[in-house]
A and B are shown apart, each in its own frame.
Chain A
């Protein structure tokens, strides 16, 4: 199993550009989520999904869109990048029900918005 994979590993964008961060998992996990990690802020939840076709907002959803058309994939879209979105982005997945279940994290995507 590859686990949770994320692409790209590193990206530089100009303000106003759009892009999609890819996340895929091969563990048949129903629950997937996106976090951003900023210095001194820990991890903050952006969006999450409890299964294909179902998504919900987290703590910091503004400026990001997600969709979940398959169990395996959960892409994160930046519609119009802003410098405030410079961060490291982590995707995670788990079995249904976050209570007690281990979250498996991808290696992260480092995004720089100029």
Chain B
């Protein structure tokens, strides 16, 4: 079945540090891949997505590239801010099956 594995948290970084959150997947067919973000006390919201191999999703300085050969979709940001503190979820959808989420990675950025 479809599954997503993302790095365990929590991750604590200083402001302006480089961020990588690893995400790998197992899926049948050709899935779409997503990163969702959950700020404290809120629901999830889409951060970025990629729908085919080699696509790069980007938003708010975050980027992730759909790598079919390594079945990965790692999230990166060159310089994090305190306001980026949140929980980040990697997810996939294949065919018309419901979205499958990873367990989430909590990021704390300190000034």
Q: Tell me, yes or no, whether A binds B.
A: yes
Closest Cβ–Cβ distance, residue A100 to chain B (whole Å): 5
- Bound-state CA distance A99–B43 (Å) is 20
**Is A33 a contact partner of B98 (Cβ separation < 8 A)?**
yes
- Tell me which of A42, A48, A106 has the highest count of chain B C-beta atoms within 10 A of its own C-beta: A42
Contact between A98 and B43, CB atoms less than 8 A apart: no
Q: How far is the CB of A86 from chain B (nearest CB, A)?
A: 18
Decide if the interface of chain B is mainly helix, strand, loop or mixed: loop
- A100-B46 CB under 8 A given contacts A33-B98, A42-B102, A48-B98: no
- The answer to whether the Cβ of A53 comes within 8 Å of any Cβ in the partner chain is no
Q: Assess whether B96 is interfacial by the CB under 8 Å rule.
A: yes
Scan residues 60-102 of chain B and give those whose CB is less than 8 A from a CB of chain A: 89, 93-102
Question: Across the interface, do B42 and A90 meet the contact criterion of CB distance under 8 Å?
Answer: no
Cβ of A43 under 8 Å from chain B? yes
Residues of B within 8 A of A103 (CB): 36, 44, 46, 99
CB distance from B95 to the nearest CB of A (A): 6
Main secondary structure of the interface of A (DSSP, over half): loop
Interface residues on B, range: 20 to 34
Give 24 pairs: A residue, B residue, CB < 8 Å, sorted on A: A4-B43, A40-B103, A41-B103, A43-B44, A45-B98, A45-B99, A45-B100, A50-B96, A58-B98, A97-B96, A98-B93, A98-B96, A98-B98, A98-B99, A99-B31, A99-B93, A99-B95, A100-B32, A100-B51, A100-B93, A102-B46, A105-B36, A107-B43, A108-B43
Binding site for B on A (CB under 8 A): 4, 33, 35, 40-43, 45, 48, 50, 58, 90, 92, 97-103, 105-108
